[in-house]
A and B are shown apart, each in its own frame.
Chain A
Amino acid sequence: MAGILAELYGGADAARTEKRPGRFRVGLARMMSLIVLSPSLLILSVFVYGFAIWSLVISMTSSKLAPKYDFVGLEQYFALWSMDRWHVAVSNLAIFAGLFISLSVGLGLLLAIFLDQRIRAENVIRSIYLYPMAISFIVTGTAWKWILNPGLGIEKLVRDLGWATFSFDWVVNPNMSVYTLVIAAVWQSSGFAMAIFLAGLRGVDQEIIKAARIDGAGPWLIYRAVIIPMLRPVFLTVVVILTYQAVRSFDLVVSLTGGGPGFSSDLPATFMYQFAFSRNRMALAAASGMMIFMTIAAVMVPYIYSELRREARNER
């Protein structure tokens, strides 16, 4: 990520040729680097990695209200995967993440391409698309809960416009509530996808486009066959980050649907919170937390690794 983004936003990585001053002072400064870094490293290794391992340990016990260190193996994981509520949360996540990511990517790319056509008020429009990112999910959820309100929200608006039988009750309909999360989340995050795609489009080599045009390619063909394939790394960044966002979505669910009706719009993150703090099933909650951790690690670790490799290659 750092690599792509540094390139996109001009923080070029290239000029780094350290060779000469191999003396005592350099050694000392290197030592200083490690000394300066070590508190942060220590803190992160305890509070990120240590805590994750601690959660793993708790997930293999029978802890309820307080941690209790009796090893019960994978019992909690079996319990977790035999719970209806967990299955609902996981399949909701699949629906939510699938729709949220594809709609945000589609909309973001479309808007970025349109904004890249020498638009007059580009800055203003871009700022309008992106402002939801500055707002918290709690505010977003509160606003959309009101907009989707089955009595006084969109339903009333459309009826006032003349469609008297229009009904829109997704937010209180157990079969549809998870889709309201998609509506609000896409509103909030598609501008982010737009911003990253736009930065990517600005980084495309104009010479290649000119060459394609000289060969007689029309604009749509140029986008489809030349530009979009060149944006592959940008797609990767956007999808990875939206996936990460989707998997840990919590605030929006709490504020928009509260996980309901019933637990019809639960996601794994709200499940975990419920069982940790309201239902005092600490070990089970830890097990669900570990499932979330592993999902995110499975996406992020290869991604970060490949980014760092790229950076290392670029330096050579």
Chain B
Amino acid sequence: MSAEATLAAPKSERGAGLSRLLGRIFIYGILILFAFYYLMPLFVMIVTSLKDMSEIREGNLISLPRNPTLEPWRVAWMEACVGVDCPGIRGFYANTFLMVLPAVTVSTLLGSLNGFALTKFNFPGHRLVFGLIMFGCFTPYQAILIPMATVLGKLGLSGSLWGLILIHVIYGLPFTTLFFRNYYVSIPQDLVKAARVDGAGFFRIFYHILLPISAPIAIVSVIWQFTNIWNDFLFGASFTYGRNAPIMVALNNIVNTSTGERPYNVQMAAAIMAALPTLIIYVFAGRYFIRGLVAGSVKG
């Protein structure tokens, strides 16, 4: 925490009060202005999703709905169209949860084991190994899409959620490993040493010493993986089709389905619903989300 507020620090006694006050007003003004800027799209989405189409044509982006209606939400959930197929987004929602839960669990568990192995028993070359894993965080997926398509085809997994689960576990591993590794590195080595003197082996040390104190970083890892996998579009678009698609692919297809007038209200309702799980996590566990962002520092 910064102990001193550098900009607002009193320079001298005379007139400090007034100029300080003006400075504060200016700073708060700018900060609040930008808060509006960041909130504006969300506000626009919400008000649009509560209007019917005639009101959308008459009003504008920020005009409040005169007769708020939840009909667009119902339509988006139950009968939004992807091309000529109109299943709503609910099925895709379920798909995505089915995909996210195992992928998050497996990649987090493996990441914690890897992180432990990378920090507590320095084997020769551990730094090189870590560097290789770290570059995995920054894999440009454009360089692996074509081989992946070929391999998924050979395994009979193309178009299935299992294929996506596998992909998300694999490409999530570098992140989860990085999180746990950076967390375990800060755990005093003495704890591990004491256990070793008592004759504990690799897994006992992991299970009895490291795992019980891993909750904070496990939360970070779970949130990070959940957000990234839920928000994935590239893999979903490349390797699934039709009703097997995850939510973001479905949303994009719904928005780009143009038969007749575009139902902007339904599009916005669908978009809000698609964003809702990650937004809820952000609202309730923002602290961990930010830690993940800062520690992983990557977003696809």
Please list the residues of chain A having a beta carbon within 8 angstroms of any beta carbon in chain B: 1-2, 5-6, 8-9, 11-13, 15-18, 20-21, 25-26, 28-30, 32-34, 36-37, 39-41, 43-45, 47-52, 54-55, 58, 67, 107, 110-111, 113-119, 125, 127-140, 142-147, 149, 152-154, 156-157, 160, 187, 189, 191-192, 195-196, 199, 201-202, 204, 206, 209-210, 213, 218-220, 222-223, 227, 237, 241, 244-245, 247-248, 250-251, 254-255, 258, 268-269, 272-273, 276-277, 282, 285-286, 288-290, 292-293, 295-297, 300-301, 304-305, 308, 311-312
Contacts and interface: CB of A to CB of B under 8 A. Distances in A.
Given A111-B31, A202-B1, A248-B140, A276 B146 contact: yes
B131 A305 contact: yes
Given A6-B185, A37-B118, A114 B142 contact: no
Nearest to B184: A11
B64 interface: no
6 contacts: A29-B121, A113-B7, A129-B38, A135-B279, A136-B233, A142-B268
A32 B140 contact: no
A247 B140 contact: yes
B255 A255 contact: yes
B35 A128 contact: yes
Q: Give the secondary structure class of B's interface.
A: helix
B165 to A, nearest CB: 14
Contacts of A301: 135
Contact of A195 (B150, B203, B283, B294): B294
Interface residues of B, number: 123
Contact of A9 (B37, B272, B275, B294): B294
Interface of B: 1-9, 11, 24, 27-28, 30-32, 34-35, 37-42, 44-45, 48, 56-57, 60-63, 110, 113-114, 116-118, 120-123, 126-127, 129-136, 138-150, 170-171, 173-174, 177-178, 181-183, 185-186, 188-189, 193, 196-197, 199, 201-203, 205, 227, 230-234, 237-238, 248, 251-252, 255-256, 264, 267-268, 271-272, 274-275, 278-279, 281-283, 286, 289-291, 293-295, 297-300
B140 A12 contact: no
B121 A11 contact: no
B173 A40 contact: yes
A153 B61 CA distance: 6
A85 to B, nearest CB: 16
A133 to B, nearest CB: 6
Given A43-B173, A118-B5, A206-B4, A293 B143 contact: yes
A9 B5 contact: no
Contact of B34 (A28, A37, A111, A202): A111
